[in-house]
Structures are given as structure tokens and as C-alpha cells.
Amino acid sequence: MFYEQRMTVPDSPAELRSEYEDEFETIVDRHSPETVAAETDLEGDTLEALLAGDSPDLTVTEAAQLQALGEGEPDSETIVTMALEHLLLGMSTAVLDVDAVESYLEIDLDAKEIQQKIEGRAPMSFEEFVHVQYVIADGAP
């Protein structure tokens, strides 16, 4: 589950995202794209892309809405809060500040943007989340 504290990661952010998307695909399969579309802010095209093995554009909020449909999962707002808190906790554990995270990111985000997104003051795409999470977990002792 993407909102849990990560201490290890696969070899790349793409592989990490793939892990999460496999989970999302299972959720969509269990509930059907129509049901998921009715219960989330996601559209049918996005859900069909997930089922086809593609990586559609998602926000952290949309990913949380999907995850919340899984059995025994908290609501989507709690998932977003937990995910962002685990990024902050991971930064403390790995002794990283936003400047250090920025220096290791493979995507274009500056330290101020990273800080705003982790604190929930700016929207975060799921792609950005995965990249930030990857850098943090990869830097953990």
C-alpha cells in the first residue's frame, strides 16, 4: 500500500509505481470500472488504462480513493494524510531535507515545491509522490 512507511524500494521509481499500479488494477478488477468510477473521482478512461497496464495520470487523492476501496482500508482522506506523514517521517529517518530530496529526484521539482507538496499545501501527482517516496526510502539507513 502506497501510504505505508517504505524502508526499501525496488531498483527504480518506475518499478515502485508499477507495484502500486498492480494493486490498483486488482482493486478495479474486483469492483469493476463502472463501480469504481461511481465511487471515486476517476473516469472510465483512467480506469481502463490501469486495467491495460498503462500508467495513467493520477493525483495522490485519486490514488487514495482507489486504495480506500480495498478491503479493510481507511478512507481516502486518512490515506492521503498517512502517505504524506510517512514521507515526512521517512525524511527524518533518512536525515534528508527538501534540498537533499531535490538533488536526488529524477523529475523537475524544486525544494520549495517538494516542501509544499509533502505538507499538503500544494497538489501532488501520484508520479511526484512515487519519485519523492523512492528517494526518501532509498536514502533510509
Domain ranges of the chain: 1-141
What distances in angstroms separate CA 72 from CA 37, 46, 69, 135, 141, one per listed residue? 20, 24, 8, 28, 30
Average pLDDT, consecutive stretches of 10 residues, N- to C-terminus, the chain (141 residues) = 92 96 93 92 89 92 96 96 97 94 95 96 97 93 67
What is the reported pLDDT for 141? Answer: 67
Q: What is the pTM of this model?
A: 0.94
The predicted pLDDT at position 44 comes to 82
pLDDT of the residue at 13: 96
pLDDT of residue 53: 87
Strand partners, 96: none
* Contact yes or no for 132/16 (Cβ under 8 A): no
- Answer for the pair 4, 84: CB distance below 8 angstroms, yes or no: no
57 burial type by CB count under 10 A (0-12 exposed, 13-18 middle, 19+ buried): exposed
